[in-house]
Amino acid sequence: MPYSAPRWLPGCHLQTIYAPLLANAGAVRYRRERWATPDGDFVDVDHLAGGDRAPLVVLFHGLEGGSRSHYALALMRCLERHGWRGAVAHFRGCSGEPNRLPRAYHSGDTAEIDWMLRRFHDQAGRAPVFAVGVSLGGNALLKWAGERGSDAHSMISAAAAVSAPLDLMAAGDELGRGFNRFYTSVFLATLKRKSIAKLRQYPGLYDRRALERVRTLREFDNLVTAPLHGFRDTDDYWSRASSKPWLSCIAVPTLLVNARNDPFLPAHALPLRSEVSATVECEFPEQGGHAGFVTGAFPGRLDWLPQRIISFFQQRL
């Protein structure tokens, strides 16, 4: 499918807030499968059926996302039209049921990405496997690809990352300013609710009163995410989990799509051409918001992004 530049519905906050309203939650039928993790927990995978030998596209969602996120539905509908298979790999605790262990998921969870992609590769047989990551999932996928280097070819044929917070320090600070605090409040509402529920499983895991006082992602990550996943504090977590330092190590063909008006990542934090490997194709449109990319006249469409991703993958078949 030839690619042509879209006509954007402008505005970073408009695209970010409005895009989910265009998704039809009943338009995709999934088959759910539960996988046991190597450490005794579980994750749920929602599968989209396709031809037995058709390519398989695996999606890693964003913070508190899942198979009903607008970008997941848009991608799966597009895959369905092409006759390809799809799968949404839920991070722990994101499929509607609490996971068993104290740990959850985080922006640099490459060990989780690795074992899931190995299993997808085994399930796909001889069919090509492609991986897509959006937002948090995009950062984790890029970091995994950089860490694996040329070995990533043994599991996937190509990757795509969308609206990834490549520099977590810059992204976290940006989300603590101005209108962006609205997004922070939305994330914190579910993160805090899940964390309080986790205390019923593991009393004393962290300070509940301190959790109730949390107002920023920096505070939440400092209290919950960092210590639960082996980081000293927020600064240690955001520094070590960022994918940007790993972009120059990626060997598998990779499409990197980030809008310059993404409210989650300032444009100055986007990588220069010299900071990414030759296998990484960067596309930084002026408009698109955070995982928005709404195009056309009102009310707009969400088809540009999935078509762009599939077009990139088709060239690697």
Give the catalytic positions in this structure: 135, 262, 290
Rounded Cα distance, 90 and 97, in Å: 11
Q: Which of 132, 116, 156, 31 is nearest to 72 (CA)?
A: 132
Q: What is the DSSP string of the chain?
A: -------B---HHHHHHHGGGG--TTS---EEEEEE-TTS-EEEEEEE---TTS-EEEEE--TT--TTSHHHHHHHHHHHHHT-EEEEEPPTT-SSS--SSS----TT-HHHHHHHHHHHHHHHTTS-EEEEEETHHHHHHHHHHHHHGGGGGGT-SEEEEES--SSHHHHHHHTTSGGGHHHHHHHHHHHHHHHHHHHHHSTTSS-HHHHHH--SHHHHIIIIIHHHTT-SSHHHHHHHH-SGGGGGG--S-EEEE--TT-TTS-GGGSPPGGGS-TTEEEE--S--TTTT--BSSTT-BS-HHHHHHHHHHHTT-
Q: What is the 3-state secondary structure (H, E, C) of 4-47?
A: CCCCECCCHHHHHHHHHHHCCCCCCCCEEEEEECCCCCEEEEEE
From the list 90, 74, 87, 95, the residue with the least C-alpha distance to 47 is 87
